[in-house]
Structures are given as C-alpha cells and as structure tokens.
Amino acid sequence: MEMWSTSSSEKFYRIPEGKGPHSVGCTDLMTENAVEGSFLRLYYPAYDATDVEEARWIPDKEYYQGLSDFLNMYRVVGERLFHYYVGSVTCPAKSNAAFKPGEKYPLLVFSHGLGAFRTIYSAICIEMASQGFIVAAVEHRDESASATYYCKRRTISESQEESTPNVEKEWIYYRKLKTGEEERCLRHKQVQQRAQECIKALNLILKINSGEEVTNVLHSDFDWNSLKDSVDTSRIAVMGHSFGGATVIESLSKEIRFRCGIALDVWMLPVGDDIYQNSIQQPLLFINSEKFQWAENILKIKKLISNDTNKKMITIKGSVHQSFPDFTFVSGGIIARFFKLKGEIDPNEAIDISNHASLAFLQKHLSLKKDFDRWDSLVDGIGPNVIPGTNIDTSPAEPE
C-alpha cells in the first residue's frame, strides 16, 4: 500500500513553505449564519511564532467524504484512505498567528477549482503571503466544491442541553450533473455565483480594513482589528485555478476594483458569450499546464487575448492540471500516476515557475515596488520549462 507515501517509514511529503521575507499565518472567516454569507481562509504576513501550531490542511472529515463523491469512491473507503494518508498533513502557515502590521499589503482574492475547496491551494497562497500579499481564498457554495458548509443556529429545543453548541454545520456537497443536463448551462450559472462570492470577499476584507466590526461565526481567537488600515485598497487582484480561472474572468468583467487577474490552467466552458463581446479591460495572465489544454479551450483564450499586450499566455512544460493544487506535493508515485497528480516536471519547480510568473505580472500591473521584475522573462514564456503561448495546435484541420 504505497499510496501517498513512498514507504511506510517515510514522513509524509511536505507542502512547500513560502520563500518570501514574511512568516505566514492563516485563519478562517465565515460571516452570517446563512448560505449567502462569505467563507474564506485568509493567508497573511504574520509575526514569527514558534509556539503556534501549523494549520491543518484538510480541517474536517466531511471534506474527505466530498472528495470521495467527486472521485466516485465509496465514502467509507475514501474517508478512511484520506484520513490515513493525509489526515495529519499540515500546511506551512501558523494557525491564527498574530498579523504583522506596519505596511499596506496588496490584496489577492483566490478562487478554487471544481471539486476543490479553500485550503488545498496553500502552496500558492502561502508563497503570495510570504511575499507581502494578503490572500483571501474563497470557499464557493455553488455546489462546485467537493464539500463546504455554513453555520446555522439550532432551535431552542435542540440547544437546551448545556453541552450542545447553539450553532451547527450545514454541509453542502458537490453536485453531479443530472441525466440529460447540459453542463455549460449549469457551469455558467455557477460561475456567476462564484464571481459574486469573490466580490463579496473583497467587500468583506475592505470592510475589515476600514475598521468595521465583523462577526466571525467560527469564533477563532484571531484579532480582526489588527487588519485595520493594512490593505492597499488601490492594489487588488484576483487569481484562480481551472473553474477558478473562469471565475477570475467573470470577476474581472463585473468588478473594476480587481486591477488584474491570473488564470491557472483555465477551464473556459463556464465563461459567458457576453465576455468575448465586451472583452476584459484589465490585464490578464494565463498560465497553462502542458497536458490539460485542448484546441477549443485555447481558441477561447486567444479570442479573449486578441492582440492586447497586457494579456499573456504561457505554458509550463511537463506539468499537468494537478500541478497547481497541493495534492501534487503530498502524493507518492502510484497514487500520483493514477490520479495524474504529478507531471514529468518536479512539482516544486512547476509551482515556482507559476508563482514567479504571477509575482512578476502582479508587480507590473499593480505597480509594486518589489524585486519580482527579475522574473519578467517568465511572463513572456522565456526560460527553462516554460514556453510562450501554447503547445496546442489550433490551426484548422486540412480538408481531406
């Protein structure tokens, strides 16, 4: 049973730590006792705290159940496997560590892919926070996450016992397509909700930044007042993977405060036709894997780029669709090959290329005074294991 670890004696693989100058903390925030509220994990520059524990990577067993559904595994089997192999995995961010004020940080809103949730892009979010960004990783409630939840109040009779908390988690699991249902219709509806959830998260962080009191129904001991006046409100971007990449495009079209966007291995199916007519005004970077893309998808990206020098597309050689989420770092050989979690390129190198290109792009379009411009060549697809544009042939087939 090799599964996630290459040998029984070996420690689990590690999600890479941030390489920037800041220590990183993370905390969860949920507003309102209803499905319409915001739910996100915030990654942020933190005081170095050796006495604070790292955050759990997958915080509840229900996420294992949701992943099992998404992967068409029996829940009882999937839950045991996930718990055994990744139950003890932590991400290299300190849970509820004290926020490090003193400068205004740019804000990045992150949108997860289909069947994912807020915690499993921590390698990207932690790197961004270590480089001086506040990152709000949204957990979407459009039934595209493998699992998510909101908190609802129990009735008086239910919570009469002293030991019973008066709030309970109401779980929402991934919704599969119904028989005969057209996927594009469902995904377009979902991406509209996802974009609104990204804008809602932006509004929430700006509300906290302005000093307004926000009730976190999850009751962590993180001091939200410490974020007051710490967000650079003129430097805000949106980023996402796969379905989250489509969410980036929709969010840019709806919210001008997002000054630029980064779409990682984007899935274009959910994007509405109106987006191509009106185009996206803001700069946009597409970072693709070598193995996931196909001609129809690439043609849609090209239509959106259409000779705008502020819109770029690059491809990471040897990478796969799962080179962006964290599973690529915590999986051993057999499982990695079976679920295509690893490409031919080393996972750490792939994520470094993606992160460095992202940082260079963000520096340029958010006018940051950092040294990320040393990676400018990556944005043009120049460097080891990266190519400009795409590896996919989109030329029309020759008539026979």
Q: What is the set of active-site residues? A: 242, 265, 321
Exposure of 234 by Cβ count < 10 A (0-12 exposed, 13-18 middle, 19+ buried)?
exposed
Q: Which candidate, 347, 252, 346, 380, places its Cα nearest to that of 304?
A: 252
Q: What is the CA radius of gyration of the chain?
A: 21
Burial per residue of 150-174, b for 16 or more beta-carbon CB atoms within 10 angstroms, e otherwise: bbeeeeeeeeeeeeeeebeeeebbb
In angstroms, rounded to a whole number, what is the distance separating the alpha carbons of residues 97 and 45? 9
Q: Are 350 and 241 in contact (CB under 8 A)?
A: no
Please report, for the chain, how many H helices and E strands are present, in that order: 10, 13
What angle separates helix 61-70 from helix 75-86, to the nearest 10 degrees? 120
In angstroms, rounded to a whole number, what is the distance separating the alpha carbons of residues 259 and 266? 19
Find where tokens 């979902």 sit: 190
Residue 182 token pair: 């057209």
Q: Which candidate, 30, 42, 271, places its Cα nearest to that of 134?
A: 42
Q: Are 88 and 40 in contact (CB under 8 A)?
A: no
Alpha-carbon dihedral sign for residues 198, 30, 236, 90: negative
In angstroms, rounded to a whole number, what is the distance separating the alpha carbons of residues 302 and 284? 12
User: 101 forms bridges with which residues in the sheet?
Assistant: none
Instruction: Name the residue type at position 55.
Output: A
3-state SS class at 276: helix
